[in-house]
C-alpha cells in the first residue's frame, strides 16, 4: 500500500484528492456508493478524512480502475473482506507481470555535427519568441 508523506489526523477533501489522485467529485460519489467510506464532518460541515479513509479510497481506486471491477463487484469484495485481508492476500496489489519493468531502454543518441546559425537567424527567432510571449 502506498505511504503518504503527510502525517495528520484529519485531511480535507482537497488534500485527499491530491494524495490519492482521485477527483473531489468522484470521492463524493464514492461516499454515496460505498457504505464503508463515511468521513466525519467538522463543525463547518467540511469532510475530515482519516488515514483509514484514505487507505479505503486507495483500495476502491485499485479495484475499480486497475482491476476493472464494477461498483457492485467492488462493494461485494469490500463487504466480504477487510482492507487488511485484501492487502495480505495481494488482491489489491498488481500481479508481477503487470508491474512495469525496473530497467528502461534508452535509445542511443549519436553525436552530430554542430549546427551553424547566423546572427540574423537568431535575431529573427528571438523576435518570434518575444511575440509568442506577449500573446501569453
Residue range 119-135, pLDDT digits in tens: 777 788 888 888 887 87
State the average pLDDT for the chain. 81
Q: Which long-range contacts (CB under 8 A, 24 or more apart) does 55-59 make?
A: 55/1, 55/83, 56/83, 57/16, 57/20, 57/22, 57/27, 57/30, 58/1, 58/2, 58/20, 58/92, 59/83, 59/86, 59/92
Q: Please give the model's pTM, rounded to 2 decimal places.
A: 0.61
pLDDT per residue as tens, the chain (136 positions): 555 555 788 999 999 999 999 999 999 999 999 999 999 999 999 999 999 999 899 999 999 998 899 999 999 999 988 878 877 776 665 444 444 555 556 566 566 666 677 777 778 888 888 888 787 7
- Retrieve residue 119's grid coordinates: 546572427
Amino acid at each position: 500500500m502506498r505511504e503518504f508523506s503527510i502525517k495528520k489526523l484529519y485531511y480535507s477533501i482537497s488534500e485527499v484528492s491530491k494524495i490519492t489522485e482521485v477527483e473531489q467529485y468522484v470521492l463524493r460519489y464514492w461516499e454515496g456508493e460505498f457504505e464503508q467510506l463515511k468521513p466525519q464532518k467538522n463543525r463547518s460541515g467540511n469532510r475530515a478524512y482519516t488515514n483509514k479513509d484514505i487507505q479505503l479510497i486507495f483500495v476502491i481506486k485499485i479495484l475499480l480502475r486497475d482491476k476493472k471491477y464494477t461498483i457492485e463487484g467492488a462493494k461485494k469484495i469490500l463487504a466480504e473482506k477487510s482492507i487488511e485481508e485484501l492487502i495480505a492476500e495481494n488482491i489489491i496489489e498488481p500481479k508481477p507481470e503487470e508491474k512495469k519493468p525496473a530497467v528502461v531502454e534508452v535509445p542511443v543518441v549519436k553525436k552530430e555535427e554542430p549546427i551553424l546559425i547566423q546572427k540574423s537567424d537568431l535575431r529573427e527567432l528571438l523576435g518570434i519568441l518575444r511575440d509568442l510571449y506577449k500573446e501569453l
